[in-house]
Amino acid sequence: MSENVFSIDLYIPAQAAAETEAIITKWLVAEGDTFEKGQVIAEIESAKSTFDFEAPCKGKVEKLLYPDTASVSFDKPVVVITTSDEAMRTWERPATPAPVQEDTAELPKMTIVAEKLEPSVRTISLLGFGICLPDRVVKTGELLSEFPGTTEEYMFRVTGINERRWTADGVLPSDMAYEASVKAIENSGLKPSDIDAIIVSTTTPDVVMPSTACILQGKLGIRGAPAFDLNAACSGWLYAISVARGLILSGIAKNVLVAGTEIQSRVLDKSDKDTYFLFGDGAGATVLSGVEEGHIIKEEILSADPLGLHMAKREFPGYEVPTNASSFDPWLRLDGKALFRFATESFSAMVRELIIKSNWAPEDVRWVVPHQANGRIIKAAAQKSGVPFERFYLNLDRVGNTSSASIPIALSEIEKGIQKKDKIIFCTVGAGITAAGMSIEW
Among 142-151, 168-177, 411-420, which is the least confidently predicted range? 142-151
Q: What is the pLDDT of residues 242-282, one digit of tens each?
A: 999 999 999 999 999 999 999 988 888 888 888 898 889 99
Cis peptide bond N-terminal to 414, omega within 30: no
Among 53-62, 118-127, 335-344, 426-435, which is the least confidently predicted range? 335-344
* The pLDDT value given to residue 243: 96
For the domain bounded by 6-86, which CATH number is listed? 2.40.50.100
Q: Residue 178 contacts by C-beta under 8 Å, 6 or more apart in sequence?
A: 216, 219, 220
Q: What is the pLDDT of residues 356-365, one digit of tens each?
A: 999 999 999 9
Residues of the chain with pLDDT > 90, as a percent, come to 53
Q: Letter for the amino acid at 351?
A: V
Q: Determine how many CB atoms are found less than 10 A away from the CB of residue 301.
A: 23
Distance CA 79, CA 230 (A): 48
Cα→Cα distances 48→51, 92, 276, 378, 435, Å = 10, 23, 21, 17, 21
- Contact indicator for 25, 69 with CB cutoff of 8 Å: yes
Q: What is the pLDDT of residues 177-217, one digit of tens each?
A: 999 999 999 999 999 999 999 999 999 999 888 999 999 99
Is 401 a known active-site residue? yes
Calculate mean pLDDT across residues 310-337.
Answer: 61
Distance CA 404, CA 246 (A): 19
* The pLDDT value given to residue 438: 95
Topology adopted by domain 125-441: Peroxisomal Thiolase; Chain A, domain 1 (3.40.47)
Catalytic-role residue among 132, 234, 255, 374: 234
**Which value, in Å, is the radius of gyration of the alpha carbons in the chain?**
24
Residues of the chain with pLDDT > 70, as a percent, come to 82
Helices (H) and strands (E) in the chain — how many of each?
Answer: 11, 21
Residues forming beta bridges with residue 42, ordered by sequence position: 27, 53
Is 359 a known active-site residue? no
Question: Is it the case that residue 142 has pLDDT exceeding 60?
Answer: yes
Q: What is the pLDDT of residues 159-168, one digit of tens each?
A: 889 999 999 9
Calculate mean pLDDT across residues 372-397.
Answer: 85
Calculate mean pLDDT across residues 392-416.
Answer: 92
Among 35-44, 119-128, 220-229, 397-406, which is the least confidently predicted range? 119-128
- Tell me which long-range contacts 96-105 makes (C-beta under 8 A, separation of at least 24): 96/14, 96/17, 96/19, 97/14, 97/15, 97/16, 97/17, 98/17, 99/17, 99/18, 100/16, 100/17, 100/18, 103/16, 103/17, 103/18, 104/18
Catalytic-role residue among 132, 295, 371, 427: 371
Would you put residue 12 in left (φ > 0), alpha (ψ -120 to 50) or beta? beta
Name which of 257, 226, 236, 382 is nearest 304 in CA terms: 236
Catalytic-role residue among 132, 255, 401, 427: 401
Sequence ranges of the domains in the chain:
6-86, 125-441
